[in-house]
Amino acid sequence: MSQRVKLCAVADLPEGEIRGETLPDGTRIALYKVGGTIYATADKCTHGEVSLSEEGTLDGCTVECSWHFGTFDITTGKATGMPCEVALKTYPVEVIEGNVHVVV
């Protein structure tokens, strides 16, 4: 059964930035705000296990891992640049009363 988890206020997520958050089970996720839309993915690069919220660079809807410079599309999680081949897990995002929620 899925549940909605409140993470932060929309105002706390600046445009073009990456913010790390922790789910109740301890899983780390990364939040991104691009063009006013908020996206959520797993926080660790699937290639090098580096935190994308701490070490990643966001360029439009692409996040780049600083370790080996692999890239992912944050809208789908798809690996878009080598050496990354495995997609990031993505999470549905809902904004409710000015707060960011993800469905897990």
pTM here is 0.95
- Say how far apart CA 25 and CA 32 lie, in whole Å: 21
Q: How is domain 4-103 classified at the CATH fold level?
A: Rieske Iron-sulfur Protein (2.102.10)
Domain ranges for the chain, please list them: 4-103
Query: Which pLDDT does position 32 carry in this prediction?
Result: 98
pLDDT of residue 41: 98
- pLDDT score of 70: 94
Q: Chunked in runs of 10, what are the mean pLDDT values of the chain (104 residues)? A: 94 97 97 98 93 97 94 98 95 98 96
- 3 burial class (0-12, 13-18, 19+ CB within 10 angstroms)? exposed
Is the C-alpha dihedral spanning 20, 6, 32, 79 positive or negative? positive
pLDDT at 49: 82
pLDDT at 2: 87
